[in-house]
Chains A and B, each alone.
Chain A
């Protein structure tokens, strides 16, 4: 099974900050990576897939990059609605489909 490790586990930032979250796979996943945002009590929302492709309707301040085993989610200028928990997910080698443990983004 491919293990996904996100860092940091939690992060405090201010509105307007640039934020980067990292996801590392235990083996290469050939850009088969998605990022989700989840707010309390809500279902996850797909932000990006194929490592860098923005899902329809997602603001352009969200971007993704990476290759091999290492991937990043960047929010260029944090907005109040961006404070949430973020998950990465690999779909390269399945089953099982695996998620990172999550990164909680909090207001500083």
Chain B
């Protein structure tokens, strides 16, 4: 059974940092692109970043470029999102998601982890 389990969310002050993790199981993690997608409270879905199977390609939404870093450790079946210089508008539930084959749509999602940026 495919499982994605996020962790690392919490309350952080503006300007602070947080590192999210996503533990993957039930599939060959190293064979898939992976993504982070977020959802602000009461709002829609926003793609944040994605990363190629071997980590050689990474892409970000403009609003997080230079502040967030996506990475992965295939030996640990884990995906990460390092978030620096956090802003109030980064407050959201962050989901990790697995790309469906060669597409960039998502067939499996984690349960999400809430990040709240507030003083």
Contacts and interface: CB of A to CB of B under 8 A. Distances in A.
For the complex, would chain A's binding face be called helix, strand, loop or mixed by DSSP majority? loop
A49 B105 contact: yes
Given A43-B112, A44-B109, A98 B47 contact: yes
A97 B104 contact: yes
A91 B44 contact: no
Given A94-B59, A95-B60, A96-B61, A44 B104 contact: no
B28 to A, nearest CB: 18
Contact of A49 (B60, B100, B112): B100
Contacts of A94: 59, 104
Contact of B45 (A50, A55, A99): A99
B47 A34 contact: no
A43 B110 contact: yes
Interface size bracket, B side: 20 to 34
A95 B50 CA distance: 9
Interface in A75-108: 87, 89, 91, 94-102
A97 B100 CA distance: 14
B56 interface: no
Interface string B29-64: 000000100000000111100100000000111100
A32 interface: yes
Nearest to A50: B103
A46 interface: yes
A95 B44 contact: no
Contacts of A98: 47
Given A87-B44, A98-B47, A99-B47, A46 B106 contact: yes
6 contacts: A36-B106, A43-B95, A46-B106, A49-B100, A89-B45, A97-B47
Which 6 pairs across A and B sit closest by C-beta, in order of nearness? A34-B105, A43-B109, A91-B104, A95-B59, A97-B47, A99-B45
Interface of B: 35, 44-47, 50, 59-62, 95, 100, 103-107, 109-112
